[in-house]
A and B are shown apart, each in its own frame.
Chain A
Amino acid sequence: MRSNSRVLNRGLLLLCGLLLAAAGMTAVLAGTPSWESRWTGPWSPPDLVGRGLSRAGETAATLPSVGGVPGGVLVGLGLAALLAALLIWFVCTRHRGGTTTVLRLEADGGHTAVDRNVAEALLSAELEERPDVLSARTRVYRVRGTETIDLAVTVRRGADLARVLAATEQAVDAWDALAGVRVPIVVRLSDRSWSDGLRAPDRVR
């Protein structure tokens, strides 16, 4: 339920995949003379790479040197630093969207902010007391500018899912009555993970 851009994730993978595919193809063709001889002319990959490298070298040589340092080296280092900074920004923004405030109410006399813990107490704590529920946790994310509650419920094997869902809807009704406004709620009934096997061994039959 994070709000980071998935297009960027896929875009980065696509760009790196294409660059690596081009480099790999060039290396394979350059290392296999029988194939290289079949793919000749100005568009053969090793030829393209060779021309590109020599042109980059020529351009770098024409750049003026600053304080005795070749301009090509400075530009190369600057570009590498810029790209590294962009990628660090990309990595740091991958877990965006979580918030601790679930509701903001404005009134004439001031404003009220409702913390995530209130939703936790009303939604998850209620459900966790049920014997057929292993765990329930509440998180809040901003989706399209709207605070949205993510209620993840892990059920025990053998639980009646319709009953668990009905209990969840009851808890949501209680939350709606308290909050006074409708907050979007996503309910997820999740699989047990390996760590759930370490929990208390009581079963429902």
Chain B
Amino acid sequence: MRNEQAVYRRVLRRETHASRTSAAVVTAVVVIVLLAGVIAVGVWWLAVPGDRDTIEGWFDSASALAGDRAALVTAGVVGLGIAVLLLALALLPGRLPRRARSTERVALLVDDGVLADAVADAVAARCGVDPRQVSATVGRRRTAVRVTPISGVPVDREAAADSAASAVAALGFSATPELTVARQGVVS
């Protein structure tokens, strides 16, 4: 049982944060391709002594490019941009839009989008409007619900907010919905 809860804690922690596997694999593959290029040129230089002048000529032209200040600054700015992206991927927590909890038997992960659909459906049913007239966004901190009422039919805000909160509570999570009612209704 204790081991089960330890497994759940680990899985829920991992599954609510981005793994960064794709970014790390892409970075590794790019570095592997660059290294393969370096190794191929090195082996060529060793194996065919007659071509050494050609290879050294390439290095000279690359060095000449480094003398061009505009090219240096452009390459540096591009490099800095990619570096910022890589550092952000490495250091930001990367929370995924889903909620997690463990019950007595299972660990439960629910995507925020699934909860948003449930909230929108519950509010639409409670207010007696078409589900297309309700949009809901479930975020980490806030749950926003926007209702476009039927013209001339008032929306019971309290009941709508209650139904949104109970839709989330049905799965054991909590939310304080922020309800917005559009000023202009539609003809149903």
Contacts and interface: CB of A to CB of B under 8 A. Distances in A.
Main secondary structure of the interface of B (DSSP, over half): helix
A174 interface: no
A77 interface: yes
Which of A10, A14, A146 counts the most chain B CB atoms within 10 A?
A: A10
Interface string B28-49: 1101100110110011011000
A191 B113 contact: yes
B108 to A, nearest CB: 5
The 10 A-B residue pairs with the shortest CB-CB distance, nearest first, are A24-B79, A27-B76, A31-B72, A17-B86, A28-B76, A21-B83, A24-B80, A31-B73, A13-B90, A14-B90
Contacts of B25: 91, 94
Contact of A26 (B76, B81, B113): B76
Nearest to A70: B46
B107 A186 contact: yes
Interface in B1-31: 1, 3-4, 6-8, 10-12, 14-15, 17, 19-21, 23-25, 27-29, 31
Interface in A59-113: 69, 73, 76-77, 80-81, 83-84, 87-88, 90-91, 94
A14 to B, nearest CB: 4
B80 A91 contact: no
A186 B14 CA distance: 12
A157 B117 contact: yes
Interface of B: 1, 3-4, 6-8, 10-12, 14-15, 17, 19-21, 23-25, 27-29, 31-32, 35-36, 38-39, 42-43, 45-46, 66, 69-73, 75-87, 89-91, 98, 103, 105-111, 113-115, 117-118, 121, 131, 167, 170-171
Interface of A: 1-2, 4, 6, 8-14, 16-18, 20-21, 23-33, 69, 73, 76-77, 80-81, 83-84, 87-88, 90-91, 94, 143-144, 146, 148, 155, 157-158, 161-162, 165, 168-169, 172, 176, 182, 184-192
A20 B131 contact: no
Contacts of A144: 3, 6-7, 10
Given A6-B20, A14-B90, A161-B118, A184 B7 contact: yes
